[in-house]
Amino acid sequence: MGAQTDLVAALLGSASGLEIFEELRFVWEYLAAAALLLATQASARSRGLYRGAIVLVAFSLLSLGYFPYKDALTALNAPRLLFACWYLGISFAMTFSLLWVFDVSMPDLLWTSATAYVTQHIVYVLVHEALALWLLPTLPSHFPAYVLLSVGCCAVIYGAIYRLLAKPLRLGAGRLLSDTPHGTLSQTVVLAMLFSSTFGFQHLFQMSESRATAVWMDLLVCGMLLGIQYTSYLAIIAGREAQLTESMLTDASTHWELSQALLSRLGSFMHDVWHIVLGVKVAKVPGLEGYLDRVERQLGDYRSMFFSNNDVLNSALAAARLLCESREIPMTVSVGKLRSGSMPAADLYALLDGLTRLAIEQALQMDDASRRAVDLELSERAGMLLASCSVTCLKGAKAWDDELGIRRLTLLAEKSGGTVQAFSEADVATLRAVIPLARERA
């Protein structure tokens, strides 16, 4: 026990409790900000919480190595730049250790870590440099109040930046930047420049006449980087969404053309079968009554797949009905009178296909298979195309939780000037798309 006490004393030297807290808070605040953003952007690896706890404990202990490192440099009268190298090294080490916790690419990790470091650094400048060492110099002597102020400032700043970036990070679906050597190198340079610029302000913080300028300049640098990253997030997501919309429409156009060809050929075949059945019935061939009845029922099922004189509607709804049947989900369809050509064929096919697939996914969340059902309604009202899917859901349960699926559908609707609404009332969840018809858009 005495040897352990001597080791701790040698490690910490003459460091005070406040100095120890300052080293620990650097690790805790940085890892907290990085974990908050990465958990929104990417999924955790197996036993992620356990791994995260190991990383936290390991770097908390490692951070205390700063005191013997500082004492050694002080004894050697080393330049102040070497003191900053400690934080540069431990910052990169913490960053790379998060690859063990989260399933994220290296460029995305570095990019998000830059945001996390800026978030942590804003708290550091406000609490430590601006308040503790300038405006309220007696604050550190009231240690509990100082700790509570640090925690409260973290909660406010971290919460604000999380609200700002959470949506674009989620829409990135875990992959924002291309995972290439060039991407890794460029993001490493960005992170290194960020560390260098913020550490460079430490020299100005030491001079009382330039402290106010240093605080505002440091905060402006952090704000500038956050603004650049936020606009970059939006640009990346916007570009990806545009590509996604075009890809969806291309796929829908291909599916629609194939469906039209298949239905046309199948319709010709069924027409011939119908006349053959009529001929056999007129000839009164003995022994075929049961067989003919079964064929007529199948012909009736085929005719029931055609809901209107719109070929696109028929193709999309036939595919949706077959998909429901394969999942053993009853589907009812109500189609009002629609003008032909009210929407481009590919757009209408993609919209209906997206609606029904999301509705089927929602219906499958019901554990009771007898309560699964999809109700689709299509109508034209006041110059608008109304497409609505309703499914049964558990009362009070969250409905339509596929954010990416809803976003894809919204992009399709917005392309035609429309909107998408997803809501639930009691035990019914409804997904509704409202699209201006071609004449109204003109």
Distances in Å between the Cα of 324 and the Cα atoms of 198, 321, 363, 400, 429 are: 58, 5, 10, 18, 17
Question: Which pLDDT does position 401 carry in this prediction?
Answer: 81
- Tokens representing residue 162 in the block: 């999380």
Contact (CB, 8 A) for 381 and 338? no
Give 126-160 pLDDT, tens digit per residue.
888 888 877 888 888 888 999 999 999 999 999 99
Query: Tens digit of pLDDT per residue, the chain (442 long)?
Result: 445 554 555 556 667 888 899 999 999 999 999 999 999 888 899 999 999 999 999 999 999 999 889 888 888 888 877 887 888 889 889 999 999 999 988 888 888 888 999 999 899 888 888 888 778 888 888 889 999 999 999 999 999 999 988 887 877 666 777 777 877 787 778 777 777 777 766 666 666 566 777 788 888 888 888 888 888 888 887 787 777 777 777 777 777 677 767 666 766 766 666 667 677 666 666 766 677 677 777 666 666 555 566 777 777 887 888 888 888 888 888 887 766 555 677 888 888 888 888 888 888 888 888 888 999 888 888 788 888 899 988 877 778 888 778 888 888 888 888 899 988 887 888 999 998 876 544 4
Q: What is the pLDDT of residue 440?
A: 45
Tell me the β-bridge partners of 334.
Answer: 377
Q: Both ends of the chain: CA-CA distance in Å?
A: 84
CA distance 263 to 51: 55
CB 23 within 8 A of CB 83: no
Reported as a single tens digit per residue, the pLDDT across 162-218 is 998 888 787 766 677 777 787 778 777 877 777 777 776 666 666 656 677 778 888
* Nearest in space to 338 (alpha carbons), one of 313, 359, 304: 313
What pLDDT sits at residue 8? 53
Residue 297 Cα distances to 4, 82, 141, 291, 301, angstroms: 87, 86, 88, 10, 6
Query: What pLDDT was estimated at residue 399?
Result: 83
Residue 289 confidence (pLDDT): 66
H helix runs in 134-210, sequence order? 143-171, 181-205
Which of 319, 305, 370 is closest to 348 using CA atoms? 319
pLDDT score, position 159:
94
**What distance in Å separates the CA atoms of residue 419 and residue 439, rounded to the nearest whole number?**
17
- Domains in the chain, start-ordered, CATH in brackets? 2-245 (no CATH), 310-441 (3.30.565.10)
Q: What is residue 132's DSSP assignment?
A: I
